[in-house]
Amino acid sequence: MGDGLDLLDGVGAVVKSPGVPPRAPVVAAARERGIPVLGELELGWRLVDVPFVAVTGTNGKTTVTEWLAHTLRLAGLDVAAAGNVGTPLTSLVPAPPELVVCECSSYQLADTLEFAPEVGILLNLGSDHLDWHGSLEHYAASKLRLFAHQEPEHVAIAPARVAVPGRARRMDLVPDWRASLPGGHNAVNAGAVAEACRALGVAEEVVQEGLRTFAGVEHRLELLREVGGVRWINDSKATNVASTLTALDATPPPVHLILGGDDAKQEDFTPLAGRAAHVYLVGEAAGRLAEQVGGERCGDLETAVARAAAAARPGETVLLSPACASFDQFKDYEERGRRFAALVEALA
């Protein structure tokens, strides 16, 4: 396969996949020639001419996207949850909904040119994907592009400490403790849902019903089952240290923690040291995790589940919250989570 440079002749614009880095030869060459380069998020937003609520952040994006869609549907709206949550925006073009709730990754936002959602939400801003962005500054700048082109009639929701660009009406992100999901992080997520719904004119009783009735999302602090008094929780979506720390804060001790996976991000794992009663290490990150966190090297998920099942006692929890991406052993975090769920289901 070539580098694609021969395809640029006569091209009016380049639409690239979010995972293609800006340093790719065809992308760099297009920009040098003055050819606009945009991502599928930008293209979908231009083609789907309905109001957008856009959600980004280092952690919690999928939960808030689905929670918002749930609550807005209770209000009687025809809503599509799309973007990084799994449904491409451009797939909505033939029959657009009344409103789109769009999960936006840093990769997708880096490729926007004019994207301006009616409501933009930044949940938090940590450290992630630095192997792709090159620096924390570039990563943060990509996230903040969510707000850059908003107009005064739009709404920007963000933590009070974060300065956002653009001209939208600012709303600080504050917790709402009337949430159906456990943990302080979900109180903040609920606050984002409530503020966005209020900005869209949803009745307060519907907002509160949505906060009470949302059941959560697959692979995010998902309680699979209890076996012999031991709770098994699937948090495969935790692909960075901050997300795993959030999961640990939301899980009563003692915890048997399964960590590891793809080590491309090269994160510092030391904040996880001492946070769990037992640690089981899998994947290519196991070596660095053993040095920085400690724990038992298991190699693969099957071995980790077997050893955790043998060691855990009634009243304890086994938590898969890997703090790593999954690409060393699985296609994605969803496949990893489904494999974990199958192994737990097979336990006697």
For the chain, which residues make up each domain, given as ranges? Answer: 41-213, 222-345
User: Which strand (E) or helix (H) includes residue 286?
Assistant: helix 286-292
- Quickly list H helices, 53-169: 61-74, 106-110, 130-133, 136-148
Class at the top of the CATH hierarchy for domain 222-345: alpha beta
Asked if residue 122 has pLDDT above 60, the reply is: yes
Judged against a pLDDT cut of 60, whether residue 130 lies above it is answered with no
Catalytic positions are: 61, 84, 129
Residues of the chain above pLDDT 90, percent: 82
What secondary structure letter does DSSP report for 325? B
Residue scoring higher pLDDT (200 or 178): 200
**Residue for token digits 């309905």?**
50
Written as six digits, the tokens of 178 are: 């009337």
Q: What is the pTM of this model?
A: 0.81
Position 1 scores a pLDDT of 47
Question: Which residue(s) pair with 83 in the sheet?
Answer: 103
- State whether CATH 3.40.1710.10 applies to domain 41-213: no
Residue 324 contacts residue 207 (beta carbons within 8 Å): no
pLDDT at 30: 92
Q: Write out the two tokens for 262.
A: 């793809």
Instruction: Assess contact for 296 and 280: CB atoms under 8 A.
Output: yes
Mean pLDDT for all residues in the chain: 93
